[in-house]
Amino acid sequence: MLKMSKRLTTVAIMLSMIPGIGAAQSVKSVLGYPDMIVHNAKIITMDDASFSSSPGTIAEAMAIRDDKILAVGSSKQMRSLAGPDTRQVDLNGRTVLPGFILTHEHPTDWAWTEPSALNHVFPEGNEHIVVHFLKGDAEEQLANWEDGLRTAVSNAKPGQWILLSSDWGSNFEYMPELFPKFLPQISRQRLDELAPDNPVRVKNSWIDGLVNTRALEVVASVFPDQKIEGRGNRGPTGRQLEPDVMLYGKVDLNAELLRSEMELWAAHGVTVYGSSPYTIGNLNALRILDQQGRMPGRFAWSYTGPDLHYQTIRLISALLGNGTDYLWNIGAHGERSGGNCTTLPASDRVKSQEFCRLEPGDDGRRVKEDIVRSGGRIAAMHSGGDKDIDHLLDIIEEQSAVAGLSLQDIRARRHAFDHASGAPRPDQIPRIKNLGMMISMINTVIWENRTGYDASYRLRNYGAEYLHLSVPRNSVTKAGIMNTQEVDRALPHFLFYNVWVGMTRYNSGMDLVLAPEEGTDLLTQLKALTIWGAYYVLREDRLGSLEPGKLADFIVLDRDLLSIPRDDIPNVKVLMTVIGGKTIHLLPGLASELNTAAVGPATWPTKPLENRFVFKGPPGIPEYMQQR
């Protein structure tokens, strides 16, 4: 691999120094014919990792062999490399970007919270799981859940699992009402009465849910030594329940489900995830897909448990960076990540809702200390408040000293925390910069109006003067700290809307611009999605930009992202996604133009890209927001 990389680098240098056909012939003589040449395009390589507003090199064409980029240059240069079997893809001037990297994204969760992949893998009449999502608006779903369960029971065989879920809508339009009301109205006793012969899992379109008594019996048989609960998102009735209990002994089915879910996200441009798989069943399913060469995305995983003893953490720390190009370790963080505790002044009512996870004596702190002390890396860590970030910085400094690590060693780890929904404070930024840390940032909380993590919550309970702590991307970028992107919701079609929100800081629910000084230009948002994301997942030498020697992960857009009006950004669509030189997603229109077949979710019988993932556009952009 290293020898090939050096050869590719040599070829890149040759190509930059020798004009025209001579360079092309040099590439051909060293590496042979490319498998694919993409030409007549606007290729935004994103090969500039600096904090400037430069996208780096913009080229017309690139050549690909096997899973890597051979060369980038003019259409004439690249086409001269073609052999008799080279596929030449004329994109007719369309824009090409590197595949997007989301650094706190859970396809292993979203596969069970959004109906598209579930219905594709477990269609009506399948023998494994009866899947039933409630229909109608929030009021109808709240009123009719029993009828929905009765329908599911009528379609199930005795003993067959039933998954009943509310549906927040493809644009989360029903979420504000359903999230707090749906599960509390349901009791286990009522579930037992309605489904006496079937194990039932009820979800609220999120990661938590509840189960009936028959389901608890199945859980106990699979996890005889674990504490069994009935609600929440932890333990064997939480995130583990679907992949590790409902699909116990059926890892191949879990693999198919995760593959379908990643295909959905690939259809919206996502090629890499930085996350925890959360359960052994999920990690095993991803391993199988990787071994079979069937991964439709790359999964950079962080360890959360279940075993968080020091010796296990030492083992995980020793695995840092280890794996394949599709599945590798980027650190650990433990299940109990940073909380939403803050130093901000607020009422007693609000303070009572806060929780810290990294204070002295907390198990969450002990796990983070063990990670740092063992030479590991903290990555994919949830966070929601600035006080726990104070604790995190203390942990990194104190435990690195215990381990005898130099400042250079600490910076090499690239410790990170995610969300940035309430941190960092301005005074924390120099300390973060000094430690060489990274921050994954969630634009979602700027427009969302639901939780104690979002900007609207902070506005209501702390005051507008503190809104700059909610995703302070501009401040972090100006300080020279690499930051990345996440959606962290089952909303892949909101990705470009999230980019727009990161620029405008507009909250449509309140019709307010929240801390506009923390908005950034488009290129900062794109670097967070591409080249900076590659640094977060420890693969900047292979991912994040379109350069010779790097993996051939790219997307084709339906419009020129660099020249369209700002308020058209949410409407951008991904026409084609290629991962490692393989086409994972191709819409019918472009497929017809290229004289080939459509690929991916566009070919599913349910047509999720047409019927489910429909972005309705930025809601109600007021006149004063237009091109401010």
Q: What is the pLDDT of residues 346-389, one digit of tens each?
A: 777 777 678 889 999 999 999 999 999 999 999 999 998 999 99
Same domain (yes/no): 165, 239: yes
Whether residue 518 is found in the same domain as residue 562: no
Q: What is the pLDDT of residue 628?
A: 42
Contacts with 351 (C-beta within 8 Å, 6 or more apart), sequence order: none
Helix and strand numbers (H, E) in the chain are 25, 24
pLDDT in tens, 328-342: 999 999 877 777 889
Q: How much is the pLDDT for 434?
A: 98
Residue 401: inside a domain, yes or no? yes
224: left (phi over 0), alpha (psi -120 to 50) or beta: alpha
Q: Does residue 496 sit within a domain?
A: yes
Model confidence at 311: pLDDT above 70? yes
| CB 467, CB 510: distance < 8 Å | no
pLDDT at residue 23 in the model: 52
- Are residues 460 and 364 located together in one domain of the fold? yes
Assigned token pair, 49 = 């990792």
Q: Mark whether 590 and 518 lie in a shared domain.
A: no
Residue 541 lies in a domain: no
Shared domain check, 342 and 373: yes
Q: What is the CATH number of the domain that holds 574?
A: 2.30.40.10
pLDDT the model gives residue 2: 39
Q: What CATH number does residue 432 fall under?
A: 3.20.20.140
Q: Name the pLDDT band for 621 (thresholds 50, 70, 90).
A: low
Q: For the chain, how many structural domains are there in total? A: 3
Q: What is the predicted pLDDT for the residue at 358? A: 94
Which of these, 181, 232, 180, 227, lies nearest to 211 by C-alpha position? 232
In the predicted structure, residue 217 carries a pLDDT above the cut 70: yes
Q: Across residues 283-291, what is the average pLDDT? A: 98
Statement to judge: residues 532 and 556 lie in one domain = no
Q: What would the pLDDT profile of 173-193 be if each residue is shown by its tens digit? A: 898 899 999 999 999 999 999
For residue 427, pLDDT over 90 is answered with yes
How many Å apart are CA 382 and CA 391, to the nearest integer? Answer: 14
Q: HSE (CB half, 13 Å, CA atoms) of 163?
A: 29
Q: Within this chain, do residues 466 and 529 fall inside the same structural domain, yes or no? A: yes
Token output for 423:
């941190």
The whole-angstrom distance between residue 518's C-alpha and the CA centroid of its chain comes to 22
Res 452: pLDDT: 66
In a domain, 221, yes or no: yes
Alpha carbon separation from 95 to 272, 524, 620 (Å, rounded):
20, 18, 28
Answer whether 0.85 is exceeded by the pTM.
yes
Domain enclosing residue 453, as ranges: 303-536
Burial group, residue 480, by CB count within 10 angstroms (0-12, 13-18, 19+): exposed
Q: Is residue 352 part of a domain?
A: yes
Confidence of residue 306 (pLDDT cuts 50, 70, 90): confident
In a domain, 438, yes or no: yes
Residue 581 predicted with pLDDT over 50: yes
Please report which confidence band the pLDDT of residue 627 belongs to, taking 50, 70 and 90 as the band edges: very low
d(CA 410, CA 247): 41
Predicted local distance difference test score (pLDDT) of residue 7 = 42
Q: What rounded mean pLDDT belongs to the chain?
A: 91
Residue 335 counted as domain residue: yes
What's residue 3's pLDDT? 39
Residue 89 sits in the same domain as residue 170: no
The per-residue DSSP string of 535-589 comes to HHTT-TTTSSS--TTSB--EEEESS-TTTS-GGGGGG--EEEEEETTEEEEE-HH
Is residue 573 assigned to a domain? yes
**How many C-beta neighbours within 10 Å does residue 552 have?**
25
Q: How confident is the model at residue 20 (pLDDT cuts 50, 70, 90)?
A: very low
Residues 6+ apart with CB under 8 A from 595: none
pLDDT in tens, 21-70: 455 556 555 668 999 999 999 999 999 999 999 999 999 999 999 999 99
In the three-class reduction of DSSP (H, G, I as helix; E, B as strand; rest coil), residue 139 is classed as helix
